[in-house]
Every structure is written in structure tokens, then in C-alpha cells.
Amino acid sequence: MRRDLRFGMAVIPAMIAACDGGAGPRFDPVDAATVGDGAAESGAQLDAAGVTVPPATYTPIGSPTWRLRCEQTTFPAPTDPQGYVQAFARFIARGIDPEHTTSAPQYAVGRGAPHAPPYDIEPGRIFGRAGAPPRAVYRRDEVDTAGSHLVLCVVYAADGAPRGRTADGADLPMLTGDRFPLAEQHDYQIGPDVLGADRDAIPYPVTGGVDGVSHLLLRWGKQVAFEPRDRFPIASEFRLTLTDSQGQGYRVVIPFVVLDSPS
């Protein structure tokens, strides 16, 4: 069985969001303790079932003048493409107000009320408001028949970056237009299988009246088609490489574990 539910990247003023869904073949479990490498950003998660998930890692490429922070969760979603998009729309709308807005058909996370830093907390705050705080251990139905995995990342200017007028304030650290387009490449590893490999270019997300962008949000999601003979738990990870026009950026590994659903 293979399911491929996908909706593409949308670009709107001041913010960008990207999301895709997909699926793959059967999987065998992998030792969760071996997933992930590089410099850890946050601590490992211990599930109530005793499953330890390694922390996410952010490995710099060169010397970027911007930072990246990602969080993961799941949201309830059916398997048909239209229902999936509608479910995501309801989920994201609960979490983004008042700092951001969203709209059909792609439901990208767009500009809302001007707001000051810190921006690195936004992915976790959005998930919390939507009723699905960040976590790294899921039941199979939460990423298969009844839900979807979701990663939300924020790109924001480092303290030493150029300062100027952005949509969020007159004198803030910012990413300037010469840093764009950003290049992104991502995939999912579910057990031994690599799924959903894709790449894209992210254009400069603002037009006129500002000197740069204070932050932007990127998102990716996936549903996975498991088979009855799959053995759980299954160690998995979302992998992202994001670089600016000068080749500076990060390699990110976000591990998670899928447990079997209660019978």
C-alpha cells in the first residue's frame, strides 16, 4: 500500500510556508538511540512507554547570519487530499493568531500584527495554541490513518545581522534580499526507507517598504502508509538542509519514534 498526499509551497508577503505529504512501503524497527548526529539543540524525550528519542540537531554550514529553530507534532487528518488540507487549515488557524494569518488554498503562515522578538519560540507556541504541543513519540494512527506528522521551522536573523525596517518593527535584525533565494532539500527516513525527498527554492518574501525580513516560517508534513506486518517501535527522522544564496545555512535532523496503536 502506498499513499501520496501532497500540497505544495505557498508564498505570501512577509512569510513563507512549505508543506508536503507522502507515504511509503513497509518498515522495520531501528534502534532509536542511534538516530541523529551533530550538535544537539534540545534534550532527548522519554516517552511513558520508555522510548528515548535523541534531540534534534542543527549543524551549521559555513557561518550563517541567521538562525533556525524547528518543532514537530502531529495533527488529526484524514487520508483524502481535500480533507487533509482542510484539517491542516483548521489546525494552523487555531495557533497563529494574532501574530500571523493564513488563507486558502495553501494555508501558508502569513504576516499578521507586527511583533517583536524572540522568534525562536514561535513554532512551539503555535503548536501549543493549536492543542498539540511539540513531542517526538507518536502512535501509528497519529501519522497514518488518523493524522499527519508536521514540522514547523522559523528562520530568523541572528543578533549580529544587519538591522533595519521590517514588517515587525523599524529597527530589527533582519535577513536582507541578497540572502535569497533560500535553497531547501528535505526527506523523511522511516526505519530503513527514505521517503518524500524533495527540494525547492524559497524566494525573497517581501516587496517594497521594508529593508528586510525579521523571520519567516516553513512547514512540512507527511502521512505514512504502514502495513500490518510492520514491527514497532520504528525510529524515524525528518532531515532538512537549508542554505542561503551564499551557501551558508544548516543541516537539521529531527528524530521521532512511532509506536504501534493500541489494539
Residue 216 lies in a domain: yes
pLDDT in tens, 128-142: 999 999 999 999 999
Nearest by Cα to 213 from 164, 261, 254: 164
Residue 76 lies in a domain: yes
pLDDT in tens, 52-85: 899 999 999 999 999 999 999 999 999 998 999 9
pTM given for the model: 0.84
The predicted pLDDT at position 106 comes to 77
| Owner of C-alpha cell 514497532 | 232
Residue-range definition of the domain harbouring residue 156: 10-259
Residue 2 lies in a domain: no
Task: Reply yes or no on whether the pLDDT at 25 is more than 80.
Answer: no
The predicted pLDDT at position 253 comes to 98
Least-confidence region, from 45-49, 141-145, 187-191: 45-49
Residue 64 lies in a domain: yes
Residue 217 lies in a domain: yes
Q: Phi, psi at residue 14, to the nearest 5°?
A: 80, -30
Evaluate whether 140 touches 263 at the Cβ level (below 8 Å).
no
Q: Phi, psi at residue 92, to the nearest 5°?
A: -70, -35
Residue 1 lies in a domain: no
pLDDT in tens, 150-185: 999 999 999 899 999 999 999 999 999 999 999 999
Domain total in the chain: 1
Residue 131 lies in a domain: yes
The count of C-alpha atoms lying within 13 angstroms of the C-alpha of 170, restricted to the half-sphere facing its C-beta, is: 0
Residue 3 lies in a domain: no
